Amino acid sequence: MVQSSTRGLSRFSRSENGTVPFRNPRAISPPVPRAHSQTDQRPHREFPPIREVAHGLEGGQTPLLIAPCGTENLLANELGFDWRLETLIKAFEGGILRPLDLGTANGRCFASIAGFGFDAAVVDLVNQQRTGHITHFDYVQPLWRTFWSHAFDPMTVVVDGEEIFTGRGMVFVGNISRYAIGLQLLHYADFSDGLLDICIYECGGRIHLVKHSVLTVLKLHANCRDVIYRQGKSITVSSESPTVTAEIDGDPGPSLPIHIEVVPGAVQCLVPPDAKPAGMRTRIIRSLR
């Protein structure tokens, strides 16, 4: 059975980022062009990222099967996949479909999480230094540099027409519950509920950042007084500081201000039976293998 299923999987096109469409999807729209700095050394992608494949399948009948072959595999983990071929085969044979919402940030599609401030600054540094495929260790030095240098410039966040935050902090808008190494950042997120979750950490310095990090690891952050947690369909993030940047699904994002909209049930995804995302301990063990 495994051999026949493997032969079946091999009939479909497979990209290095782990996206396996069941048949050639309609033309995948390219990402909206953005200005790149002279230090942007990200290599040319031979294949589109998962978010662009999902965008190409948006509104159609072709289901999406994701093989987790990247560094973090955030979306694959949220859908219940692990590194085992058996899990991929079970999803392929089982035919269980779940609708996946998508988000758009100034017209650019994202499938997992958009980050603003500290998180985006780390991604910018990784992007500037990378020369090919990356591992978790490629984030260590950018994370350390950003920890000591980040200024936490003020931002303003508006959700469904209501201004909910103005000040120094970190902002995350996403479709999935777990972030890097399995952190349950967007505690109540559901990728098929037609809503995006917003988590805002009020943060003005390193001590506050360490506190938020510890509480997030312990899954206690969502109800803290200096954390704002909301859900919505339309989100705008802006800042008067030109140094505040954004990232979408681990890549540098558009320039602020950024307007985000949810696209409910945009694509159908094949998932394993009894699928659930792996937690932090499991993700760390996987990353060390």
How would DSSP label each residue in 101-148? Answer: EEEEETTEEESSEEEESHHHHHHHHHHHH-SS---GGGGHHHHHHHHH
Q: What is the sign, positive or negative, of the torsion defined by CA atoms of 121, 125, 126, 128?
A: positive
**Helix axes of 118-129 and 140-149: crossing angle, nearest 10 degrees:** 130
- Check residue 279 and give its pLDDT: 60
**Sequential pLDDT tens for the chain (289 residues):** 444 444 444 444 344 444 444 443 333 344 444 344 333 444 444 556 788 888 888 888 889 988 777 666 788 888 888 878 888 888 888 888 999 999 999 999 999 999 999 999 999 998 888 777 777 678 889 899 999 999 999 999 999 999 999 999 999 999 998 887 678 889 899 999 999 999 999 999 999 999 999 999 888 898 899 999 999 999 999 999 999 999 998 889 999 999 999 999 999 998 888 777 666 566 555 555 5
Strand duo 113-116 + 246-248: pairing: antiparallel
Name the 3-class secondary structure at 262.
Answer: strand
- Check residue 40 and give its pLDDT: 40
Q: Which residue has the tokens 């991604």?
A: 123
Q: Which one, of 16, 78, 79, 31, lies nearest residue 252 by Cα?
A: 31
- Check residue 252 and give its pLDDT: 92
Q: Where are the domains of the chain?
A: 2-100+267-287, 108-265
- Check residue 104 and give its pLDDT: 95
- Check residue 160 and give its pLDDT: 97
Are the C-beta atoms of 22 and 65 separated by less than 8 Å? yes
Can you give the pTM of this predicted structure? Answer: 0.79
CATH number of this structure's domain 108-265? 2.60.200.40
Are the C-beta atoms of 137 and 108 separated by less than 8 Å? no
Q: What is the rounded CA–CA span in Å between residue 229 and residue 168?
A: 16
Q: What is the rounded CA–CA span in Å between residue 51 and residue 103?
A: 9
Q: What is the rounded CA–CA span in Å between residue 201 and residue 216?
A: 10
- Check residue 105 and give its pLDDT: 95
Q: Which two tokens stand for residue 133?
A: 């495929």
Q: What is the rounded CA–CA span in Å between residue 218 and residue 46?
A: 39
Q: What is the rounded CA–CA span in Å between residue 266 and residue 220?
A: 31
- Encode 274-284: b = buried (16+ Cβ within 10 Å), e = exposed: ebebbebeebe
Q: Which one, of 252, 113, 250, lies nearest residue 191 by Cα?
A: 113
- Check residue 67 and give its pLDDT: 79
List Cβ neighbours of 2 (8 Å cut-off, separation of 6 or more): 85, 86, 89
How would DSSP label each residue in 135-160? Answer: -GGGGHHHHHHHHHH----EEEEEET
